[in-house]
């Protein structure tokens, strides 16, 4: 069994994290058995999808950046990677 899917690692020491209940927001809370650090893992796929949707909407010219409801500087920062797609 070499699957590492859905098994985040500790930012601090790189150890595997174990599930440690949930946060108030319903996210799984993770805890490192080695150093005791706890973290919640943001789902980069979901965040990226949201960013790319906004980027795509803007790039196809139907909406201006201001209409997307995101500050211009934030928009450029969060969608800079989209240009590489
Ligand atoms: Zn750790």
* Per-residue pLDDT at 42: 64
* Per-residue pLDDT at 35: 92
How far apart are alpha carbons 46 and 29 in whole angstroms? 17
pLDDT above 80 (res 63): no
Q: How far is the CA of 54 from the centre of ligand 1 (A)?
A: 35
Question: Taking ligand 1, which is a single-atom ion, which protein residues have CB atoms under 5 Å away?
Answer: 10, 12-13, 15, 32, 34-35, 37
The structure's pTM equals: 0.40
Taking CA atoms, 57 is separated from 45, 66, 67, in Å, by 18, 12, 10
Q: How far is the CA of 35 from the centre of ligand 1 (A)?
A: 4
**For 4-55, what is each residue's pLDDT tens digit?**
456 788 888 989 989 888 878 888 888 999 998 877 766 666 677 888 888 8
Q: Which long-range contacts (CB under 8 A, 24 or more apart) does 46-51 make?
A: 48/81, 51/78, 51/79, 51/82
């Amino acid at each position: 069994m070499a699957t590492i899917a859905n098994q985040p690692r500790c930012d601090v020491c790189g150890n595997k994290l174990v599930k440690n209940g949930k946060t108030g927001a319903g996210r799984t809370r993770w805890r490192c058995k080695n150093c005791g650090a706890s973290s919640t893992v943001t789902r980069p796929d979901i965040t990226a999808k949201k960013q790319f949707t906004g980027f795509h909407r803007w790039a196809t010219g139907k909406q201006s950046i201001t209409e997307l409801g995101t500050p211009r500087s934030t928009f450029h920062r969060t969608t800079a990677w989209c240009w590489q797609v």
